[in-house]
Structure 1
Amino acid sequence: MTLLAVERIKLFTTRSPWWSALAALALTIGFAALMAATSDSDVPMSLAATQFGYNFGVVVIMVMAALAITTEYRFSTIRATFLAVPNRTAALLAKTVVVATLGAVIGTLAAFGSLGIAKLITPDAQLALDSAYSWRAVAGVGLIYFFSAVIAVAVGTFVRHSAGAISLLLIYSQLVEGLVQLIPNIGDDIYKWLPFNVANNFVTGDPDPNNRDAMFGPPVSTAELSPWWSLAYFAGFALILLIASIVTANRRDA
């Protein structure tokens, strides 16, 4: 508990989590407001549409999470951390838990804030949380943010440089996975198992009952797993990456 408190203090005494939280909330809720304001009888507002901006929020959370670890390496404060806590595994796990929990909180607030603004703008739209799909489409966003933050901390621990870690995270999540589909013959088959595509399946795994076109919500996944197995797959990927990064951190100089 002491380690968690220390990491919480270190995190919240910097500006990045506050600005990141504000940016993530503004992006996701702002897109929801835009979708609601432009909806009409031909393209009605839906739960999927309220979460249109959730992938933009994920990007912000991953940047925040990567900075949480890379700035310690940049300013060499990680050395003081490891001197005070010789058990590097415990120190890195504490940081990961604190950062990922913050990511989950921001994601949950962003998702329900997006739903709330959509209800305010389009009070007659069918936006009730009355099914397994609807709860996953909204509440599930916080879980995706949590594990995305874990991945970002792991990558930051591997790379140790802010620009490099952030570039790697953004290029992979926003570009590489999509480009894999262009590989002849096998591209689509590989894409089905890529982590962020599978993660999207958790929040879009069942068709939106309002039948709004997929382009108006989060990207529809091509993963063949069930929604909850998709979350387990994404969580497993994040955990493996985190374990590998901690092993690496224990074997090299701070």
Structure 2
Amino acid sequence: MNVLRAERIKLFSTRAPWWCTAIAVVAPLAFTAVFMGLAGSKVPVNVGNTQLASAQGRTVVLVLAVLAATSEINWGTLRLTFQAVPSRVPALLAKATVVGALSTAIGLVVGFGSWGVSLLVQPGADLALHTGADWRSVLGQSVTFLLTGILGVGVGLLLRNTGLALALVLVWTQLVEGLLALIPRVGPHIYPWMPFYAADQFAGGDLQRTMLRLSPPMGPWGYLGYFAAISVVVFAAGVAVTRHRDA
């Protein structure tokens, strides 16, 4: 418990997590309000499509997690942490737990907040949570945000450099995955295996899949397992590398 308390204090000792949390919530909700307000007859107003902007929040959570992992390394305070916890692994697990808990809370706010905003903007639409798929789209954001936070911590531990890690996750989420879908012939076959596409298939709208005319090779729960496996493997690799590196 002392390790968890220490990681919580360290995480919120700077302004960055507070700003990231605010942006991760406000940006998706604002985009959802605009999107739902402009939605025409060609865009179905359903529960799944209330979550189309959740990817923006996940990107910010990814940044938050990278900063949480790399800031200590850059400031040299990680050495003090490992002096207090010589085995290192409990400290790294505690960091992932704290970041994951915050990420989960952000995901809950984004999921239900986007749904609530859509209800206000489109009061005549049927946005009640009737089915398990509806609940998965909204409540499932907490799971995808949790895994995104763990993934970000893993990337930060692997690369150890804030600038390099942030460049990688931002270029990947904002450029690489989207461009892969546009590659003739092979793109539509590669894109469904991208990690954040997988997250969207578990908790997200169907507009992107409809526009790109993709046929996902797995169902929502299969994609959740796939995204979880990627996140855990990257985090485990980061822990393994950090155990054998100088702090």
The alignment's TM-score, normalised by the length of structure 1, stands at 0.89
The one-letter amino acid paired with 1:180 is: L
Residues paired across the two proteins, number: 247
| Residues 1:250 and 2:246 aligned together | no
Tell me how far apart the structure 2 counterparts of residues 33 and 219 of structure 1 sit (CA, whole Å): 24
Per-residue CA distance 1:114-143 (angstroms, 9 max, x = gap): 111221222221111111111111111111
Q: Cα offset for 1:44?
A: 5.2
Contact 2:51 2:203 in 1 (8 A): no
Contact 1:147 1:238 in 2 (8 A): yes
Aligned pairs for 1:1-254 within 5 A:
1-40=1-40, 43=43, 45-182=45-182, 185-204=185-204, 214-215=207-208, 222-254=215-247
Per-residue CA distance 1:151-193 (angstroms, 9 max, x = gap): 1111101111111101101111222223334556544333222
Tell me how far apart the structure 2 counterparts of residues 60 and 252 of structure 1 sit (CA, whole Å): 28
The one-letter amino acid paired with 2:127 is: L
Contact 2:54 2:204 in 1 (8 A): no
Q: CA 1:244–1:127 in 2, change beyond 3 Å: closer, same or farther?
A: same
Tell me how far apart the structure 2 counterparts of residues 101 and 203 of structure 1 sit (CA, whole Å): 18
Which consecutive unaligned segments of at least 5 residues does structure 1 have?
208-213
Q: Cα offset for 1:93?
A: 0.8
The one-letter amino acid paired with 2:232 is: L
Describe the SS at the equivalent of 2:242. helix
Tell me how far apart the structure 2 counterparts of residues 192 and 215 of structure 1 sit (CA, whole Å): 11
Describe the SS at the equivalent of 2:203. helix
Q: CA 1:191–1:45 in 2, change beyond 3 Å: closer, same or farther?
A: closer
Contact 2:92 2:239 in 1 (8 A): yes
The one-letter amino acid paired with 2:10 is: K
Q: Cα offset for 1:43?
A: 4.3
Contact 1:46 1:125 in 2 (8 A): yes
Q: CA 1:225–1:60 in 2, change beyond 3 Å: closer, same or farther?
A: same
Contact 2:52 2:204 in 1 (8 A): no
Q: Cα offset for 1:219?
A: 8.6
Describe the SS at the equivalent of 1:192. helix
Which consecutive unaligned segments of at least 5 residues does structure 2 have?
none
Per-residue CA distance 1:170-223 (angstroms, 9 max, x = gap): 111222223334556544333222212222111248x6xxxxxx1599998753
The one-letter amino acid paired with 1:68 is: A
Tell me how far apart the structure 2 counterparts of residues 233 and 61 of structure 1 sit (CA, whole Å): 19
The alignment's TM-score, normalised by the length of structure 2, stands at 0.91
Matched-pair identity in %: 39
The one-letter amino acid paired with 2:218 is: L
Contact 2:198 2:227 in 1 (8 A): yes
Contact 2:49 2:204 in 1 (8 A): no
Tell me how far apart the structure 2 counterparts of residues 217 and 45 of structure 1 sit (CA, whole Å): 14
Q: CA 1:42–1:136 in 2, change beyond 3 Å: closer, same or farther?
A: same
Contact 1:51 1:217 in 2 (8 A): no
Contact 1:68 1:153 in 2 (8 A): yes
Q: CA 1:220–1:248 in 2, change beyond 3 Å: closer, same or farther?
A: farther
Contact 2:63 2:166 in 1 (8 A): yes
